[in-house]
């Protein structure tokens, strides 16, 4: 049986127990098809033919994030980026942001430093690990 990205997105949404909607499945399928995190603007531009307004897209991205189908990455430029597969590899991984082209890349195979010990009374829910530098593409195009 061949699984399409669209059917994978629908299955992931159904597995949450929530209602499957066209905007949710379309946005998740689009993100699953990408190989990098995208901004709200990038996603809206990529789905231009779907007549998805900014507010609906924002709500869909929030819903997908809450249900751990995508994760939200805070770049050094203060712009949120969204990447599919949060539930597949967890959010505890490093991100790299190129200081030239602004592209953000998830590094799921790089070991992070040991768990940080917080003072008594503090509980960690998420750690953001952002590495800034020049990506391989920009380095190759010097």
User: What is the model's pLDDT at position 76?
Assistant: 73
Q: What is the pLDDT of residues 87-137, one digit of tens each?
A: 544 556 778 888 888 888 878 777 777 677 889 999 877 677 788 889 898
Please provide the average confidence, as pLDDT, over all residues in the chain.
85
The pTM assigned to this predicted structure is: 0.71
CA–CA dist 84, 21 (Å, integer): 17
Give the model's confidence band at 52: pLDDT under 50 very low, under 70 low, under 90 confident, else very high: confident
Q: What is the pLDDT of residues 1-23, one digit of tens each?
A: 457 999 999 999 999 999 999 99
- Which has the closest alpha carbon to 78: 32, 125, 130, 36? 130
């Amino acid at each position: 049986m061949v699984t399409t990205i669209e059917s994978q997105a629908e299955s992931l949404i159904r597995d949450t127990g929530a209602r499957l909607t066209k905007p949710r499945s379309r946005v998740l399928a689009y993100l699953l098809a990408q190989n990098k995190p995208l901004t709200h603007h990038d996603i809206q531009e990529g789905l231009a033919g779907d007549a998805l307004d900014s507010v609906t897209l924002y709500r869909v991205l929030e819903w997908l994030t809450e249900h751990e189908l995508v994760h939200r990455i805070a770049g050094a430029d203060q712009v949120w980026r969204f990447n599919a597969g949060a539930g597949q590899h967890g959010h505890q991984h490093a991100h790299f942001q190129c200081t030239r082209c602004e592209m953000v890349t998830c590094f799921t195979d790089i070991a992070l430093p040991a768990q940080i010990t917080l003072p008594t009374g503090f509980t960690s829910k998420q750690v953001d690990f952002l590495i800034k530098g020049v990506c391989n593409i920009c380095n190759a195009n010097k």
